[in-house]
Amino acid sequence: MNKQRKSALSRRQFLQVAGSTAVALSLPGILSACRPSSASGALKIGVLLPYSGIYAVLGESITQGMQLYFEALGNEIAGRPIELITEDSKINPDVAQQKVRKLVEQDEVAFVTGIVSSGVLAGLRDYFHDNQVLCLCSNAGSNAHSRAAKTPYIWRTSFTNWMAPHAMGTWAAQNVGRTAVISVPDYAAGENNVTSFTHSFTAAGGEVVAVQRTPFPNMGDPAPFMAELSATGADLIYAFYSGSAAVTFVKAYHDFGLAQQIPLTGAGFIVEEDVLPEQGAAAQGVKSTLFWSYVLDNPQNAQFKTDFHAFAGRDADVFAVQGYDTACVIDEMLKRTEGDTAVGQLIAALDGIQFDSPRGPFRLDAHSQAPEHNMYARDVQPVDGVLRNVILENLGPIVDPGDDSMG
Ligand code: PHB
């Protein structure tokens, strides 16, 4: 990458310093104070998210969750004003590649956050690694980036894709049925769900009888996929879909009569708050596992839901929680470095960050570079006339194993 970014003094930066603090500094002091990795001036954060396509709502919620947290700080951390620079990555690794270059090389952001799709994260992994740019990934859960493709420059504030299916595999074998058919979109995150669910479901005595992979990002006409699922005669479906693909899948599951025939389970994104209003009655009774629910009863969640509604004019969803928690990690990280953004210091500061999140206890695990948090088994039921993911069971804390030994 442009090594210049770390050392050169732009004209604007020189003028800023020369006009304010230069008199008090020696020359090396001036140079270090002027590097983008310094501890003064506006703190530019690159936010790379989908604002169009099937995951557009996820991008919107993550952004608003971050904005809410930063607004409560007066948009300032360690004395530095925060500037979020947002870019639409779509769900396209090539577009994301151009956008990340723009953020890092032109805007000179201190680090990058966002990234929803595992395919996009995979496409950017070497850029972050080779150029030593920190990425605080706030959604994309690809297991590889906590395992074989791990780099010190990518940390997750969200989850890994191993977590929800791992929890559901065990829970479904104990509570729903003995044979399962899996349905996922045909890309990395779907594949992670297949391996993880299969591992824990089988370990708990279940058998996966078929795996269905649908076109990603748009599955097209769901009818043939529903017919295929129905024909398996399995005791249950396990599915991973999110955003508008989750709406398509769950509505089709209902409209084609599968809801009467075969229980639907999944990673919680399939019936999250972002899609539930549109799914309506079609989602009722769907069981899922996730690290948060709207109805989760803790003081942080109560406050968060109220504040988010006042800020965004709508109910919070798990992606808003992820944005909020990402901002909390950024806050804590920069407090620890006293506002310094030298990449080595940022990374050192991440180790062991923990706080009480709306999702419950949150701890950044240095081995998997992803959170440890509770998993909850949930069921879509009406609460005061509104469909919510009622918590059936707190399944306790989960942390990615950091290798492929458990799926
Ligand atoms: C992913 O691509 O890893 C992914 C996308 C959407 C989700 C969760 C994971 O809701």
What pLDDT is recorded for position 10? 30
**CATH number (domain holding residue 381):** 3.40.50.2300
Which of 55, 108, 68, 69 is CA-nearest to residue 85? 108
Instruction: Verify that 387 and 252 share a domain, yes or no.
Output: yes
In the numeric block, the tokens 């398509």 are attached to 248
Q: Using the mean position of ligand 1's atoms as its centre, give its distance from the Cα of residue 118 in Å.
A: 6
What pLDDT is recorded for position 22? 28
What pLDDT is recorded for position 39? 72
Q: Using the mean position of ligand 1's atoms as its centre, give its distance from the Cα of residue 19 in Å.
A: 47
**Rounded to an integer, what is the distance from CA 193 to the centroid of its chain?**
15
Amino acid type, 398: I
Pocket around ligand 1: residues whose beta carbon is below 6 Å from it? 116-118, 139-142, 161, 189, 242, 269
Whole-prediction pTM? 0.91
Find all residues with CB under 8 Å of 405, minimum gap 6, and list them: none
Residue 108 maps to a domain: yes
What pLDDT is recorded for position 30? 31
Instruction: Verify that 332 and 250 share a domain, yes or no.
Output: no
Q: Using the mean position of ligand 1's atoms as its centre, give its distance from the Cα of residue 6 in Å.
A: 33
Instruction: Verify that 106 and 41 share a domain, yes or no.
Output: yes
Mutate to test the pocket of ligand 1, among 191, 216, 242 (most ligand atoms within 8 A of CB): 242
Instruction: Verify that 85 and 137 share a domain, yes or no.
Output: yes
Look at the chain and report how many structural domains it folds into. Answer: 2
Q: Is the dihedral of CA 391, 395, 396, 401 positive or negative?
A: negative
Instruction: Verify that 281 and 320 share a domain, yes or no.
Output: no
168 is in which domain, residue-wise? 163-290+374-406
Instruction: Verify that 329 and 379 share a domain, yes or no.
Output: no
Q: Using the mean position of ligand 1's atoms as its centre, give its distance from the Cα of residue 379 in Å.
A: 20
What pLDDT is recorded for position 110? 98
Is 266 in a helix, a strand, or coil? strand
Name the stretches of the chain with pLDDT < 50: 1-35
Instruction: Verify that 58 and 115 share a domain, yes or no.
Output: yes
